[in-house]
Chain A
Amino acid sequence: MAKKRRDAAVVGIYEWPKRVDPSVSAMQIKAASIRRALEDAGLDWKDIDAIYDAGDGEGGGGLGLAAYLGVRPTVIDTTQVGGSSYEFQAAHALRDIAAGKADVAVLSYGSKAATQRIPIGTGGRGVGGNWQGNMEIPYGATLISNYAMVATRHMHQYGTTSEQLAEISVATRAHAMRNPEAVQAMADLQFVGVNEITVDDVLNSRMIADPLHLLECCMVSDGGGAAIIVSGDVAKKTKKKPVWILGSGEATSYRTNDGDITVSAGAQSAPIAFGEADVKPKDVDIAMIYDSFSITVAVCLEDLGFCKKGEVGDYVKGGVLRWDKKGAPALNTDGGGLSSNHPGMRGLFLLLESVRQLRGESTSQVPNAKLAVAHGNGGLLGATHTGGTVILAAD
């Protein structure tokens, strides 16, 4: 591996432990998570000089969050590109810190999607009165059906099967069962079975939007968390070993008249990130990939370069994505959005579990994990979406 870039590092993390929590607001989750992440880093509230915020929470965003926290940052970044917002924000924090504009950057997230019973996947999509919405709202394309249309096309072009996609759900659940917070989450959200699952279990779960079954869809939870990203100088005096951000890539993609919807924005963002980090997909120990649905992971595994386009069906066979199997990086070792935590924008948790793995703190710890990729997919796969790729390395 090339010499590591040491401009910016993640030094503090916190993930809100409960996935159904009527006792707190989203803003309280954000503020409390920031406090705990600062404690994890050994830093103080007054050290914050940059905030990155996707506008989540009650009265937050670029105008509200600093005021709510009671801090006076000199970098305010309100990047909101869906669930991958946090990979974009980490990329911007790296850039801002490297440019000398910030030393202690805070990313935070809070959501009450479960308590408020927000039907993220199966609600009516979009609003009319704009150029896209007016062409789409009459057709009842739920969020899930957008992803499902990618799966249909992938199956058509490459012969991919539901059995193969189910491997992603199976591996992720195995990781969730090792994570006590994920186990509690599934119990609190009244999953039918809080246990490891098989490919047949996935195929026998009810169809939500063909060809995607219930067990290929992420949960809708409450939750949130925070991450503290600091300069190399600050990282010298933090409590735990820093996790370095080696590179990042950002991209967007959308429906076009002749595009291939089996290719995501990740095909553009990942080469930028790997190039900047000067590492290759085969070097990666941990793949934290946004698992809104099985197909999201499948497409992104291809687009990030872990296997060729169209070959993911063979690639995921035999449980190779499990933390304790060789042949592929360990996938979503916290239990993922499928089985641990998905309050709507999961991107932050991709960073948090990457950091846990590279510190040696995961509940499905890969021995000697050195390199992780966090890849967020925001918006609607198959339609307008973003890809944000962040490469992280152990100290």
Chain B
Amino acid sequence: MPNRPQPQFPELDSQPFWEGAKNGELRYQTCDDCKEVVFYPRAHCTKCGSGKTTWRTSKGTGTIYTYSVVRQNRSPAFADLGAYAVAYVDVDEGFRMLTNIVGVDDPTKQIKVGMKVKVEFEKQDSGEYPIPVFRPA
């Protein structure tokens, strides 16, 4: 299994996101007052400042906004991965998340901006929180 760094707690803003990940849910917030999508998670709306937000679960589909294939990372958790793709994915409900693109043989050639992708939750040796990554849909 992969051995990615785990989120660390206590951390009050992102805790519900990661509890969702344990259940295979990709979670995000919306503002009760202005309906803005709030992401990364936090306790206020970034558009209107409201303190009232509601957690929702995404269908987990989206589009690659941009990406890069990392050829060199001296951090031990990633040093042995070979080339891997980091990306921003625009998730269909309207939030952009940093993630990895998995499930392609050659990330240097097979990943494109605009590609449709879907989430999967990758179990980790490093701890109890599975990490949401995306693969071509």
Contacts and interface: CB of A to CB of B under 8 A. Distances in A.
A130 B11 CA distance: 6
A98 interface: no
Contact of A132 (B9, B40, B94, B114): B40
Interface of B: 4-9, 11, 13-14, 17-18, 37, 39-42, 46, 65-75, 77-78, 81, 84, 86-88, 90, 94-100, 108, 113-114, 131
Q: What 3 A-B pairs have minimum CB-CB distances, sorted nearest first? A: A124-B75, A148-B68, A128-B8
Contact of B40 (A119, A124, A131, A259): A131
A122 interface: yes
Most chain B CB inside 10 Å of its own CB: which residue of A127, A137, A210, A257: A257
Contacts of A212: 68
A149 B11 contact: no
Given A135-B17, A256-B96, A258-B96, A128 B7 contact: yes
A153 B71 CA distance: 18
Contact size class for A? 35 or more
A134 B8 contact: yes
Contacts of B131: 138-139
A135 B7 CA distance: 7
27 contacts: A122-B74, A123-B75, A124-B75, A128-B6, A131-B14, A132-B40, A134-B8, A134-B13, A135-B14, A135-B40, A139-B4, A139-B100, A140-B75, A141-B70, A145-B68, A150-B66, A153-B65, A153-B66, A206-B71, A207-B108, A209-B70, A209-B71, A209-B72, A257-B96, A261-B65, A261-B66, A261-B88
Contacts, number: 134
Given A134-B8, A206-B71, A141 B98 contact: yes
Contacts of B72: 122, 142, 208-209
A156 interface: yes
A139 B99 CA distance: 6
A78 interface: no
Contact of A135 (B84, B94, B97, B114): B97
